Structure 1
Amino acid sequence: MFGVSAIFAIIACGVAMKEYVKGNITHEANTSVKYLTKLLALSGETIIFMFLGLSTISSSHKWDTHFVVITILACLIYRTLGVIIQCAILNQFRTKQFTIVDQFVLSYGGLRGAIAFGLAVSMPEIIAAKSMDYNSAIVELVEG
């Protein structure tokens, strides 16, 4: 309805529906849903890594060390800056503050890799830098 990506739509739906669903299912059903979700997440992660391995050996690659290093450094720097700035803003409104350790975990363990890899794979072939972006996404996924 709003024209957002499927990932964002699923997250928004889950956040909005959580309270309604939890109040209307039994404890056993809640436990089953929790473990089913974990199973699906692990299965999805396995499929992504299998696809990563197969595509690494089956595709033609254009390697540019400078581009890969700059991409990884930029991701690390901007992810860290984003977490620090957002935590500084959020800490003004929270009773339990984000500590430095929390911010480190958020900046190092945030979403990355698989989404970048999926976006790089889905890029149109007419983009000249697709193979370099693809290689950077593989390195970022392996680094994460």
Structure 2
Amino acid sequence: MTEVERPGGAVQALRVPCWVDQALIGLGDLMHLVGDGGALRWRLFWVDFIGDVRAVWQQGHEKIEAQSRQSEGLSISWSQMTALAGTDAQILDGEFVGFQDSGAPQLQFIMLDSSFWIVWSARADYADLRAAFGQAVMVPHELPASLVEEPFGRPT
């Protein structure tokens, strides 16, 4: 069973509009700018899609959406995230969190209502993202929960 611990206090995160200069800012754009997150163990929470995700998950979006609503979320790899970014599926809502092996959160992408992304990083270096998306602003943000699981398995 998964235990969720919420650390105290607010931090700063970057809010990036979904559309900048009539171009859609997608998951792949964020992944490219933050660098390789393949060493992290990723979970997907509370996702809603429009479009076909069967290139990533053969069972389709309904089952994936349901699994993401479980308390432990859906295990997802960086390569699956890359494949998802390459589809025509639109993420309406969803939270992607990358964890260290210890369960400590390191990186988070949240899509809210197809309106904007919230990007939080334990490194707190948002220079590349701010430079790429001039309309991005810093906002207060609650730290993502730590995830402790026995064993904390690697996504397939």
Q: TM-score, normalised by structure 1?
A: 0.27
Query: Comparing both structures, which one devotes a greater share of its residues to strand?
Result: 2
- Looking at CA atoms only, which structure, 1 or 2, has the larger radius of gyration? 1
**TM-score computed with the length of structure 2 as normaliser:** 0.25
